[in-house]
Amino acid sequence: MSKTCLITGGSGGVALALAAQLRAEGWRVARAGRSLERLAPDHGDLLVEADVSTETGAAFAVNEATARFGAVPAAVVNAAGGIVLAGITRTTEAQYRACLSANLDTAFFVSKAYVAALQAAKQGGALLLFSSVAARVGVGNHAAIAMAKGGIEALVRSLAADHSGLGLRVNAIAPGLMETPLTSRMVNNETGQKAIAAQYPLGRYGQAEDAAALSAFLLGEHASWISGQVIALDGAFTAVRPMVRPSA
């Protein structure tokens, strides 16, 4: 398998950690984002300026990576996204639409562009999207993001059904809170760190490297019989109900 990968949302913490891991495993990596300045330094990656929340931008990112690799990428990861932490009555229309654009629109248009490129080339590939624990269990103040990520989980299953015959594998990772630049304000003090870690049965919140390790596995040959799955990466948050002891 040609080891080439396009990562959209390429300036984020998970994207950078994944790019580093893939490079270490011998992959060629392209990272796409809305600003070349934010994508820099390149770390040896191909950099593509594109807004993948639009159909035109997503198609440009896939086509540019294809041209520069000399073939359609063997794998595409949509790591673009954003967070809105607010109840539904405190979520403005602008926040709601921005949340869907950053999460659901990017996933849809990147997937559409990649599938079209694979169909034209008559080859398979691996597509990885990102969901969230909030799409699986009710988490307070996550109405907009839970809705967006729930749509991504449905998209994964639909794409896997439609395009398995092409040889396309489609999966998603549903992480709990991971420490990245996007979430840094939530874990920037000891009190916040302890409060968030206490929510996870394994006793800690996630790191970008946790997502990178699982992503690299799902993109590689050892996961060649895995498709249509949404895999929890959450320290057992969605699988385990901790025992609550009554206060004395």
Model confidence over 8-57: pLDDT tens digits? 999 999 999 999 999 999 999 999 999 999 999 999 999 999 999 999 99
Residue from 246, 209, 244 nearest 24 by CA = 209
Domain range for 59 is: 4-82+101-138+148-175+207-227
- CA atoms of 78 and 86, how far apart (whole Å): 24
Mean pLDDT of the chain: 93
The answer to whether residue 66 is domain-embedded is yes
Model confidence over 109-156: pLDDT tens digits? 999 999 999 999 999 999 999 999 999 999 888 999 999 999 999 999
Q: Residue 148 is encoded by which pair of tokens? A: 């967006």
- CA atoms of 215 and 151, how far apart (whole Å): 20
The answer to whether residue 236 is domain-embedded is no
Q: Which residue has the tokens 């103040």?
A: 141
* pLDDT-based confidence at residue 247 (cuts at 50, 70, 90): low
Model confidence over 156-188: pLDDT tens digits? 999 999 999 999 999 999 999 887 766 656 666
Mean pLDDT calculated for residue range 197-210: 88
* pLDDT-based confidence at residue 243 (cuts at 50, 70, 90): low
Sequence-separated contacts (24+) of 33-41 with Cβ below 8 Å = 33/8, 33/9, 33/80, 35/11, 38/11, 39/10, 39/11
The answer to whether residue 89 is domain-embedded is no
Sequence-separated contacts (24+) of 194-200 with Cβ below 8 Å = 199/237, 200/176, 200/234, 200/235, 200/236, 200/237
Helices 13-24, 208-219: axis angle to 10 degrees equals 50
The answer to whether residue 186 is domain-embedded is no
The answer to whether residue 219 is domain-embedded is yes
* pLDDT-based confidence at residue 196 (cuts at 50, 70, 90): confident
CATH of the domain at 45: 3.40.50.720
Mean pLDDT calculated for residue range 88-104: 97
The answer to whether residue 216 is domain-embedded is yes
Residue 115: its pLDDT value, please? 98
Residue 72: its pLDDT value, please? 98
Number of domains in the chain: 1
